[in-house]
Structure 1
């Protein structure tokens, strides 16, 4: 097995929305805001090469939306999914599976693209199977008013119409499925959105968890630091506490999707609870 971090592109979000009830005087210590109160956000995927499979975890925002749409998210930097794949010797057509932690546009927008004539949409990974779970899919295609702007029809229905969409069973013991058909474990969490899936991968003697939107950045490690976007923030608190304690006990390495400055971290337990221990780049740990 080989793992590769894939930078698909950076954007910005409102710092207050990203930290909910936590005062700016606290969250700006780890996530400094610009003059418009916006903080830097990454869209970092993870590529798993194992045998004849090439599995991409999440696919970023993509590029099919209008300039008006992207104007709300202030894209910055030079990263792109294609460039990141090319640098390690792959092309998007090599991807066999796209595993989606959830279906918010910043996680699945890159799955679908305009067709050649811009008359309709088609899969951006023409040889890949797309993986979600039935509970989250139903939640996404029948969205509540709070999440409606994050579940975009042009991201979802072309995926289904392609015939390449498959579901992973979300039934698990203690909200953890020990092994998926893709060869890694999955944590199911419901605070951010219904049945978000967090892959857990054993790699070179270490356990890596792709923490997606349960813990978007290192600044979100303390329990009360919960995004305003979460649909069930009190449930997020419970899920985070359980996960963080498990992570410390089992020496997990947390892989961040949205932290623009930190790819991976470890944790330790302090008098104030679980806190950040060390941060690393992927290559510092695994090369």
Structure 2
């Protein structure tokens, strides 16, 4: 098995929204804001090369939205999904599976692109299956008013129309062992219904793709929960459980949205689970 970080682009969001009720005087220590209160974020995806399968976990915002839309998210840097794939010697047509942790636009927007004459949409990975789960798919296609702006129908419905959609099994509790894609999945419901956190066994290490359960290093303290979470009290319990497991078992936490820290480990302290070490993907994947 080989793992590759895939940067689908960088953007900014309001720091207050990213940290909910936590005062700026606390969160700006780890996530400094600019003059407009915006903090650096990224869409760091993960590519798994395992035998004949090439599995891409999440794919960023994509590039089909309007300039007005992207203007809200202040893109920065030169990284793109296609450029990052090419850097590692791959093309979108090589991807066999696209695993979507959840269907918010910054995680699945790259799944769909305009067709050649911009009269409609088509999948960006023509040879891939797209993986979600039944509960989350229903949640996303019949969205509540709080999340409706994050579930864009042009990112979601064309996947089903393409007949490339597949659903993972759902666990009785919160952990699905050895899923259809060959890795374990932790299901978390605080951010959105049935968000999926892949846990990949790689060279004797467990690499956990943290999605929005732990967006950045700055979110390690249990009460530091995003304002975007639909059930923040549930996120508190899920974070505490998962981070305790991570500290007990020395999991390597792959951070999707932290623009400046790629992989971390955590440890138990008197103040709770805190940062142990920071690694680059080169440190762990090479």
TM-score normalised by structure 1 residue count: 0.99
The 1-side partners of 2:220 and 2:113 are apart by 34
Determine the structure 2 residue equivalent to 1:202: 201
Matched ranges for 1:1-287 at <5 A: 1-172=1-172, 174-287=173-286
- Tell me which stretches of 4 or more aligned residues in structure 1 moved more than 4 Å: none
Contact persistence 2:188–2:195 (CA under 8 A): yes
The 1-side partners of 2:130 and 2:260 are apart by 29
Contact persistence 2:2–2:285 (CA under 8 A): no
The SS at the match of 2:9 is coil
The SS at the match of 1:119 is coil
The 2-side partners of 1:239 and 1:86 are apart by 36
Contact persistence 2:48–2:55 (CA under 8 A): yes
Once the two structures are superposed, what CA deviation does each residue of 1:37-57 show, in whole Å capped at 9, x if it has no partner?
000010010000011110000
Contact persistence 1:204–1:286 (CA under 8 A): no
Once the two structures are superposed, what CA deviation does each residue of 1:128-174 show, in whole Å capped at 9, x if it has no partner?
100000000000000001000000010011011000001111223x3
The 2-side partners of 1:203 and 1:156 are apart by 30
Once the two structures are superposed, what CA deviation does each residue of 1:229-286 show, in whole Å capped at 9, x if it has no partner?
0000000000000001111111100000000001100001110000011111011123
The 1-side partners of 2:87 and 2:168 are apart by 31
TM-score normalised by structure 2 residue count: 0.99
Once the two structures are superposed, what CA deviation does each residue of 1:198-250 show, in whole Å capped at 9, x if it has no partner?
00001011111001000000000110000000000000000000001111111
Give the gaps of 5 or more residues in structure 2: none
Contact persistence 1:267–1:277 (CA under 8 A): yes
Equivalent residue pairs, number = 286
Contact persistence 2:4–2:285 (CA under 8 A): no
RMSD: 0.6
The 2-side partners of 1:178 and 1:13 are apart by 34
TM-aligned CA deviation for residue 194 of structure 1: 0.0
TM-aligned CA deviation for residue 114 of structure 1: 0.2
The 2-side partners of 1:24 and 1:164 are apart by 43
The 1-side partners of 2:142 and 2:231 are apart by 17
The 2-side partners of 1:109 and 1:99 are apart by 13
